Structure 1
């Protein structure tokens, strides 16, 4: 029981800390979650984090909240999911409450405006880092279907201007078909042995 309590506390403190000091949304928090839960705590491996990220991005809602739900559930079950949601949602709730109380003072403050403009450049750099890391992981796997889907989704989004909803649906169908074919092949190989 003491070990579970330690895991719950670490899960809450980690998600709270990451959420409190991350600006720019879910695409910024994902690499930080990967560093914390894959590299530092070693609770999950890199492939699992990549899968959780893909599911979080394709699910409705905020990517950071989706990722924390999946991560918390994977690490500590349903209670872990609730604890990680609480850790992820509380910091923005507290910060937004404070900002709304002092909104008029913040709105006209030159220093606050300059800091927020500077953060935009940092957020763009972190998002570029996420794209390069996740794309690099797909290329390392040397899976032609995954690489084709990644490149096609990029082209469809930025050059063909196709609605992202359609791209997610098509990519989800391709992924489901790929898994079904792999399972069928694995079952056939298992039956032949």
Structure 2
């Protein structure tokens, strides 16, 4: 069952967000868009896997890799907020969900201008940014009662404006957006 679920999650993330397939240590894609993050959700049985990717500018107000003590503290504070997935992304209480795992990283993101040697990432001329990458596993006793998702993500992070949400379940795939003005997502009939 776990193999099937892992395969579903992998396929869901690759289908839902091709950028994830390209990402290893850093991205080699075009520039990220400030204010926009991605939330991928894959559901199988009672398990919900979530993956959040957002530019550092959205989360901590700067896009470069943290270098000062103040910036490093801001990164750690943001990571602590993002770690509590069921506080940031609220599921209906009747679904009886519990966070199983949570991993939040602040990664360096490098954009290449062409067919240059990737070993030269650290040299000037390459745009370096940071992004937050969080993965979560949640178990719900009554997943059929997950009829919505509400977030305080926008209230917690001043630079965040929009989340592109991709949901994959046994019923198919759904795409939606959550914004500051619309921090709730209706999942009726999706589960």
TM range (shorter): under 0.3
> TM-score, normalization: structure 2?
0.23
Structure having the larger proportion of residues in strand:
2
> TM-score, normalization: structure 1?
0.23
Larger Rg: 1
Query: RCO (CA 8 Å, sep 6+): is it higher in 1 or 2?
Result: 2
Structure having the larger proportion of residues in helix:
1
